[in-house]
Structure 1
């Protein structure tokens, strides 16, 4: 795993949910968890759960140290199964399978598994015993690009903490902090503001704001996240004369995420590079209408439009018109305006219990099939 304790990105959240589900389904198993970026002080071992962190090594040596840990332990202990939650770590798993016959599973999320060119990773994909794709979109791309056996790829979508992400009123402290009014229409995006991740769609939202303001003059856009693209975004806001209707709030700590979701009237991230998009689930669990792009894994997260609204992520006019329609409560999808029903549907399809049941089915089917082969 890349990390469980140092970072809180989508892959880390998925890895944490996967480990939690495994511990619940098979508490008698012994688990050895290798973490590239976490340090010894981040975790506590138990009788069945042992962590091995490489985060104390300098960054330039960390990949080698982490790979060495994995390989040497695999040779020594010969585990029954290796599960890699990031494609880049599977080269070692592939080597262990070649040398000792240890089976391995791969979790395929998004861009790390698309357009894979490295021969070593291509071999790792082809020789994996199972591939868990977080979305149909990622599965279909893998099948198309890598010509894989469709029978070895299974869908295990992202999940979220339904106990944590709940519906509340707009938080008064955030309204005050950002100088907003309770009845003011608010659009929210939470994303990493990185030059390498401009596909998230915040540029298109900024470009759409002048059109939205013509109909909704008091509209406000809250863009949350940190990264090296912030200066360019600030320049764009100035160029579009949006200083009075956009707030860049920077990094939002985990404990403040729920309040930020509940602050908005609609969550919008018209991305074209998401493997899935956990933020969509979190927003919908808070009862918020969601607008997303129609070219990536958001298709799965919004269940092809059942739970939210999908638009062409490059069509600024369509983005503007759709957001106006949602905010004026004219959109034909009635679920957008039924917060509790939207929340329940999201839990039904993507709650942790569903995630755990799906994983249980895959594990049982896999071990039954391997026993039959043996």
Structure 2
């Protein structure tokens, strides 16, 4: 089967990690027999007019064995959603036809996120059927402009199937499409087995957290919860990976509780540094206020580590009794109790059992085959 993927965001020279999960999914699907091609319409903010490395225009390239077609353009209609969607749908129509002439007929179009790719595709009047996988935290964070909401009904309901990556999105998207028609397929983990050097300086029980230091990641809650247990955590420490606008606030909180010798903010980490910290921690904990999925939890359980997350609709798609605990959002006492329980009962978490749970439910082959089943069903129904 031949599938055209249209991501609403995707890696660029300016941002090489944006939409990297979409890229890795297409690569995993190729490994499982799907011919995947990507068409990405990238809108550059006018604020980046003199700073962007990107050139306006249409290009094609082979990236990790995948044919990628790109059209870069400036967003000349910021916040003018009606005009923006007309322009976007015109571009999708134009470049869909160009790509189809080069590559042949597509069986199906797979769009990642209704905002804004599926909206524009739905308006383009292209006859090739499409499905949507929704990832965006904008739904749970109530960040969708009222002018955009009216377009979402058509984008979701005219799709042959709608996939969501977390339990929370089932409820969020049910405002636009019948919940019983939605499919839950989690994000996949593409990390492979790797040897990671042991931290020779580690002498304490270590909690590790990772995320941009923004309010929505709840690092302040994690610090507050650790402080609740500081009299018990005499041989415990908390490492926090990431950087962002809340760093000074978090450092002030650490100083307030006199925890400088127990809590360390590591700053931004490379993939190798993330692997090192995942491998050498005892527990991974993240107290997000919003999280549609949470790939970092998968990275942790891939290393056999127990995890602690919040009921945001994402982590509770992953966490169960085998691999950790889940608590309410902003519940400092509940998080403190969960951290204490895992600290005291760490021996009950079997690293091999946790790794097997990860492999059997979130490995790229398992998830890819679930997506392929959706493709086959839609294509069969189309005759």
Gaps of 5+ in 1: 176-181
Q: Which residue of 2 aligns with 1:294?
A: 311
Deviation per CA, 1:266-291, whole angstroms, max 9, x where unpaired?
Answer: 10012231111110010011111101
Match of 2:155 among 115, 121, 124: 124
- Verify: 1:73 aligned to 2:101, yes or no: no
Q: Which stretch shifts more, 37-46 or 103-112?
A: 37-46
User: Judging changes above 3 Å, is the alpha-carbon distance between structure 1 residues 277 and 123 closer, same or farther for their aligned structure 2 residues?
Assistant: same
Deviation per CA, 1:64-99, whole angstroms, max 9, x where unpaired?
Answer: 687654231125547543222122222211112xx2
- Verify: 1:159 aligned to 2:188, yes or no: yes
Q: Which residue of 2 aligns with 1:179?
A: none
Q: Distance in 2 between matches of 1:83 and 1:193?
A: 32
Deviation per CA, 1:177-209, whole angstroms, max 9, x where unpaired?
Answer: xxxxx2311111111112xxx232211111122
Does the CA-based 8 Å contact 1:348-1:354 persist in structure 2? yes
Please show how residues 303-322 of structure 1 align to structure 2 within 5 Å.
304-322=320-338
Does the CA-based 8 Å contact 1:134-1:157 persist in structure 2? yes
Q: Which residue of 2 aligns with 1:192?
A: 212
Does the CA-based 8 Å contact 1:221-1:245 persist in structure 2? yes
Match of 1:150 among 180, 189, 195: 180
Please show how residues 223-242 of structure 1 align to structure 2 within 5 Å.
223-242=240-259
TM-score using structure 2 length: 0.80
- SS at structure 1 position matched to 2:183: strand
More helix by share: 1
- SS at structure 2 position matched to 1:275: coil
User: Judging changes above 3 Å, is the alpha-carbon distance between structure 1 residues 231 and 60 closer, same or farther for their aligned structure 2 residues?
Assistant: farther
Does the CA-based 8 Å contact 2:168-2:314 persist in structure 1? yes
Please show how residues 1-374 of structure 1 align to structure 2 within 5 Å.
1=7, 2-4=9-11, 6=13, 7=15, 12-27=19-34, 29=35, 31-34=37-40, 36=42, 44-45=61-62, 49-54=66-71, 57=73, 69-76=91-98, 77=100, 79-88=106-115, 89-96=117-124, 99-114=125-140, 115=142, 116=144, 117=146, 118-143=149-174, 145-148=175-178, 150-151=180-181, 153-164=182-193, 166=194, 168=196, 170-172=198-200, 175=201, 182-194=202-214, 198-302=215-319, 304-329=320-345, 334=348, 336=349, 338-371=350-383
Does the CA-based 8 Å contact 1:161-1:351 persist in structure 2? yes
TM-score using structure 1 length: 0.81
- SS at structure 2 position matched to 1:50: strand
More strand by share: 2
User: Judging changes above 3 Å, is the alpha-carbon distance between structure 1 residues 8 and 358 closer, same or farther for their aligned structure 2 residues?
Assistant: farther
Q: Distance in 1 between matches of 2:90 and 2:78?
A: 10
User: Judging changes above 3 Å, is the alpha-carbon distance between structure 1 residues 234 and 71 closer, same or farther for their aligned structure 2 residues?
Assistant: farther
Does the CA-based 8 Å contact 1:167-1:285 persist in structure 2? no
- How far did residue 121 of structure 1 move? 2.5
Does the CA-based 8 Å contact 1:225-1:249 persist in structure 2? yes
- How far did residue 146 of structure 1 move? 2.2
